[in-house]
Amino acid sequence: MPTPTLNIELERAGEEPLYRQLFTQIRGQIDGGDLPDGARLPASRSLARQLGISRISVVNAYNELRAAGYLSAHAGRGTFVARQREATEIAPPPRSAPAKRQRASAIRELMRRARKPGLIDFSGGAPPGEFFPLRYLQEAINQVFERDGADALAYEAPEGYLPLRRSVRDYVRAIGINCRVDDVLITGGAQQAIDLVLQSLMRPGETLLTANPTYPGIIDIAEARRVHIRGLPIDEDGIRIDALENALDHLRPRLIYVMPSYQNPTGHLMPLHRRRQLARLAAQHRIPVLEDEVYREFRYDGDELPPLKALDESGVVIHTNAFTKVLLPGIRIGYLVADAPYTERLARVKRAADISTPGLNQRAIHLLLERGVLAQQLERNRIELRRRRVAALAAAQRYLPEGCQWRAPGGGLFLWVELPVDGPSADQTFMAAIERDVAFAIGALFFSGDGGRQAMRLNFGIHKPETIEEGFRRIGEAWAAL
């Protein structure tokens, strides 16, 4: 394999030492696939000459890359890319942005490996499989085949299957959103909806505001799209308004992402006055707000609140939800509701992304909606989830270490627990917990910057009350053992 030309740009006046900049850029090119396994790097002397820096900087960078498991050297033959995945992904977390990303992958990998039969797993984000209206869906799919034949398997319009768009329009009108059918775009789940909005409204290097902690999927998207994510501090009502004002004044953000109802991971519900403040601020600054309402229908108590989009008079709010988040995650049907200036571009980006969401899936969900199956199933799920919440709160009280803090969520699937600051960290607790066959989501996953070292998210919705009790007992035991 020939020696590739490295495309390196050093900031000579920057604060970061040159060898470190070189290290980061070469690592980035290896991670990004520009430098494949087996590629030979230029000799240190020639790279130093090419870049006009001292040879010792290059040697240091190569040494670091070797130590981090990215390179191998063969005396007399040269230096080669030889990525040892294990070495890099489990490496201790340094502080740069790629390091943070690497730490998140390491945590995910850790959580993935922990999965085994018999594990009581509170780490997932999905609702339990027994809640899915399987038979109804199967029936609906068969009916679509009988009714539509090949039409159900032809390309669908990028904007979505028209009758489903109409159903969505009616659905969101019922929660106060002034919506026309043209304002609705069907997507591959809420994740694609969020990604399309970022692609349509943001360019690389621009700033996105979110709560901190936040939904990890938006951190993934920000990374993939190379946009800056700035996590704002929250209080019990959501993003703090003073922090938001400050960020709007000084950071020139292009988009605000919020989850007003039963936020993932903290479970907080943004009250009406905060919703109004947020909508007003966004309108004043003319910054679009993407509200992700995927947990909206997981309400256990309290009044139903209007979504931000229902309070939006200037067209800056974009609303997303996915019926299937709460019922059928694997079928991947979500939607966006937005005003005209946005929808056209969103539809263009959607067509570029995957032409359309599978028509068969859209038609089946449409039938389920029309028949009220989804609403009935939600109601049944709610009753069972309330029981599980009661069990989780009682088990937390009984088994979690003294000094832990949590709030009873008014909805959603998650209990967000902060461990005592002076005790074992969430990582440490996790390691001890998996030895006892129980797992949870480590808090750091939900933070765009540092943070979450002492936090954990527990999906109580996914287990029966007795399993919740046993799982929480083991977590308490794991912590105490440390």
Give min distance, CB of 432 to its own copies, in A: 27
Site for its own copies in 298-327 (CB under 8 A): 314-316
Answer for the pair 47, 12: CB distance below 8 angstroms, yes or no. Answer: no
Q: Which two tokens stand for residue 187?
A: 């997507």
Among 160, 189, 213, 307, binds its own copies (CB under 8 A): 189
What x-and-dash track marks residues 440-479 binding its own copies by CB under 8 A?
A: ----------------------------------------
User: Of 304, 381, 302, 369, which Cα lies nearest the Cα of 331?
Assistant: 369
> For residues 255 and 190, what is the distance between their CA atoms, to the nearest angstrom?
17
DSSP H or E segment with residue 81: strand 78-81
User: Of 182, 187, 211, 215, which Cα lies nearest the Cα of 199?
Assistant: 187
Among 351, 371, 387, 398, binds its own copies (CB under 8 A): 351
Q: Which two tokens stand for residue 407?
A: 């709030």
Among 62, 70, 132, 430, binds its own copies (CB under 8 A): 132
Q: Which two tokens stand for residue 302?
A: 């309290």
Size of interface with its own copies, in residues (CB under 8 A): 80
Q: Is 162 in the site for its own copies (CB under 8 A)?
A: no
Answer for the pair 108, 430: CB distance below 8 angstroms, yes or no. Answer: no
Is the Cβ of residue 179 or residue 396 nearer to its own copies in the bound state? Answer: 179
Residues 6+ apart with CB under 8 A from 97: none
Give min distance, CB of 406 to its own copies, in A: 26
Determine what percent of the chain falls in helix, strand and coil, rounding each to the nearest 5: 50, 15, 35
Among 94, 129, 420, 449, binds its own copies (CB under 8 A): 129
Q: Is 188 in the site for its own copies (CB under 8 A)?
A: yes
Among the listed ranges 91-99, 139-147, 365-373, 469-477, the one in contact with its own copies (CB under 8 A) is 139-147
Among 95, 249, 286, 372, binds its own copies (CB under 8 A): 286
Give min distance, CB of 355 to its own copies, in A: 5
Give min distance, CB of 236 to its own copies, in A: 29
Q: Is 280 in the site for its own copies (CB under 8 A)?
A: no
DSSP H or E segment with residue 186: strand 184-187
Site for its own copies in 207-266 (CB under 8 A): 217, 220-221, 223-226
Task: Indicate the Cα dihedral angle 17, 23, 29, 35, nearest 10°.
Answer: 140
Q: Is 83 in the site for its own copies (CB under 8 A)?
A: yes
Read out DSSP for 297-361?
A: T-B-SSPPPPPGGGG-SSS-EEEEE-HHHHS-GGG--EEEE--HHHHHHHHHHHHHHHSS--HHH
Q: Is 152 in the site for its own copies (CB under 8 A)?
A: yes
Q: Is 354 in the site for its own copies (CB under 8 A)?
A: yes
Give min distance, CB of 125 to its own copies, in A: 8
> For residues 431 and 106, what is the distance between their CA atoms, to the nearest angstrom?
13
> For residues 188 and 322, what is the distance between their CA atoms, to the nearest angstrom?
9
Give min distance, CB of 188 to its own copies, in A: 4
Is the Cβ of residue 155 or residue 174 nearer to its own copies in the bound state? Answer: 155
Q: Is 97 in the site for its own copies (CB under 8 A)?
A: no
Q: Is 150 in the site for its own copies (CB under 8 A)?
A: yes
Is the Cβ of residue 33 or residue 92 nearer to its own copies in the bound state? Answer: 33
SS3 readout for 42-77: CCHHHHHHHHCCCHHHHHHHHHHHHHCCCEEEECCC
Site for its own copies in 11-30 (CB under 8 A): 30
Answer for the pair 30, 83: CB distance below 8 angstroms, yes or no. Answer: yes
My answer on whether omega of the bond before 213 falls inside 30° of 0, hence cis, is yes
Give min distance, CB of 480 to its own copies, in A: 33
Among the listed ranges 1-9, 40-48, 373-381, 450-458, the one in contact with its own copies (CB under 8 A) is 1-9
Give min distance, CB of 375 to its own copies, in A: 18
Give the three-state DSSP class for 147. Answer: helix
Is the Cβ of residue 54 or residue 142 nearer to its own copies in the bound state? Answer: 142
Is the Cβ of residue 134 or residue 375 nearer to its own copies in the bound state? Answer: 134
Q: Is 78 in the site for its own copies (CB under 8 A)?
A: no
Is the Cβ of residue 127 or residue 452 nearer to its own copies in the bound state? Answer: 127
Among the listed ranges 335-343, 389-397, 407-415, 442-450, the one in contact with its own copies (CB under 8 A) is 335-343
Tally of CB atoms within 10 A around 4: 15
Q: Is 331 in the site for its own copies (CB under 8 A)?
A: yes
